Structure 1
Amino acid sequence: MKKSHEMVHHCLYFTANSLGRAMTRLAEEAFRPTGLSPSHAFVLMLAAEEPGIGPGELAERLALAPSTVTRFVDALVLKGLLSRTAEGRAARLAATPAGLALLKGVEQAWKRLHAAYLDVLGPESDRLARELDEACRKLEGRAEA
């Protein structure tokens, strides 16, 4: 049994999932005051930074399935934080005035999240994030040349 226990702690699959769950808990706590999940908040931020962005571009940037992004967008439109306009078959997104007003709280939430994991992991957390991103890109065949 000890061998299996040790194997779990040296397995990238299990450790990455465990890290994901721990980060999700930290992020949800940091974003609770905004009334948004961290993923919804990131969609709102991107739409505010790039009015007219399409759901496909969002899915690519967030490394999420298009159907997941569509659910996030639908929820944000329903809350009155995003507007969606059709251009032929394409949809274009932009933050509404209510969405723009929420951005300061969203930015504060990102700062709270960063401070929370920096407090636990230290200054190496930024390097860890870069290395995890690089590993994801390699595993998905998107490594930059």
Structure 2
Amino acid sequence: MSDGYLCNCLYFTSNRLSRILTKMAEEEFKSAGLFPSQAFALMIINRNPGISQNNLSHELDIKPSTTSRFIDKLEHKSLVKREVKGKSSFLHPTEEGVDLMGTIEECWKNLLNRYSKILGFEEGEKLAQSIDLACNKLEQDL
């Protein structure tokens, strides 16, 4: 990238990084039959059986409508069961959802190894921590 204006723009560079990492993650998660965001949702549900759909949205930092789409797809794949009580939905992993965790963890490990080979493990970890810190600071202004 030769244009200094774009290289020094946090908005542009963060979106560029996101596109690159999304492509890498989607390639790694093909073996699980899930998109990375769906895998995150399933991991949280497996670690917190009975989590409310609202709490899952909060954990993933996404809109409830997006969470509903994730859950619909995970239900369609028989990985999650939705229990409705009043206006709230509570999520439980199915046996298939629990069984897929080994594959999901392997996909995350492969993704970590893939970008760590390029960036270096410590550099990737520092970058993730810096981005998280920036997100926390910027969210305070929203």
2: distance between equivalents of 1:65 and 1:134?
Answer: 21
**Alignment-derived partner of residue 36 in structure 1:** 34
Question: What are the residue-to-residue correspondences of 1:1-145 with 2, within 5 Å?
Answer: 5-122=3-120, 123-141=122-140
Q: Percent identity?
A: 41
| RMSD, matched Cα | 1.2
Give me the whole-angstrom Cα distance separating, in 1, the residues matched to 2:40 and 2:61: 12
Q: Matched residues in 2 for 1:134 and 1:52: separation?
A: 30
User: Take 1:121 and 1:67, find their aligned partners in 2: how far apart are those partners?
Assistant: 35
Aligned residues between the structures: 139
Q: Distance in 1 between matches of 2:70 and 2:14?
A: 24
How far does the alpha carbon of each residue in 1:3-44 deviate from its partner, in whole angstroms, 9 at most, with x for none? xx2100110000000000000011011111000000001101
Q: Distance in 2 between matches of 1:127 and 1:137?
A: 15
CA distance in 2, matches of 1:111, 1:54: 28
TM score, norm. by length of structure 2:
0.94
1:92 positional shift: 0.4
TM-score (normalizing by structure 1): 0.92
Q: Deviations over 1:96-130 (max 9, x none)?
A: 00111111100000000110111111121111111
Give the partner amino acid of 1:137.
N
| Amino acid in the other structure paired with 2:44 | L
Partners in 2 of 1:87 and 1:126 — Cα distance? 40
